[in-house]
Amino acid sequence: MGFLSSNQSWDPVEILERMQYEQRKVFHTSFQNKCEGNILNLSANRYLWGNPKATCLRQFSWSEAFHIPLADISRMGSENRSLRSTIEAFVQTAATLAQSIAEILAENLGVKSKFFAKYCTPSTSYLRMNRYPPCPFSSEVYGLLPHTDSDFLTILYQDQIGGLQLMKDGRWVGVRPNNNPEALVINIGDLFQAFSNNIYRSVEHRVIAQQEIERFSVAYFFCPSYDAVIESFSKPAIYRKFSFREYKQQIQKDLLATGDKIGLSRFLV
């Protein structure tokens, strides 16, 4: 995909600042253009908002997002040159970080594997730009519903507004911005929980809606190719082995049938 050409001199702080500026600019275009105009020239259904299948307010996410397969970046035209180059710079940095963290976590399990280098590449991963608009009834809806991530790792960059919470010891704990605009949040996803045989746990998290101010974040989802087979590193295995394609298909089936992601419990031995 040719990540970073003339932008190799950008330092990490500049990349984060530019990412926040560019995503604000694209989100502040009209709702009609985002829904109908395919302003980024991405593959179908990459602009998301709310939850069209919600039957009550508590099932509705007060947010909008561009969920971008990184293979789609090359489709972005000259009118989006600045956003494209910024995304490429962010992705290169996030991909390198995710690869290093994944290998370290695997080594801590006693596993020296080339799995991540072979199957988890920028072309198999995703970028998601999120905006959480001010919500006049913020006590009644979530910015983002409670969920776990269907990947190995998530690299998250958030602004200083706050609202991200994670489940710890049976209660929700706020992940407060620490006044360091360069800080990143690293989440373990479902696939690492299966790979580690439950030694690492996928983090359930949610976003609280804000009443008076908008919030922005951008996430890099470190994913394998669809054909990659996820298998527990130790025996007896808690989960049967499965491909990433099978896992994603099961999630979609469950969402259509129940409105909820069931996740790893579908793959217990």
The single residue listed with the structure tokens 């298998």 is 231
Which of the 8 DSSP states describes residue 226? T
Pairing label, strands 185-188, 205-208? unpaired
CA distance 34 to 25: 12
Q: What interhelical angle do 81-108 and 12-27 show, nearest 10?
A: 120
Q: Quick one: which of 175, 255, 241 has its CA closest to 208?
A: 175
Active site amino acids: 215
CA distance 65 to 216: 10
Distances (CA, A) of 191 to 48, 120, 196: 24, 12, 8
Is the separation of the CB atoms in 68 and 86 below 8 Å?
Answer: no
* Residue 168: its H or E element: strand 164-168
Neighbouring C-beta atoms of residue 160, cutoff 10 Å? 12
CA distance 76 to 36: 16
One-letter amino acid at 192 equals F
At 83, list the tokens: 């956003």
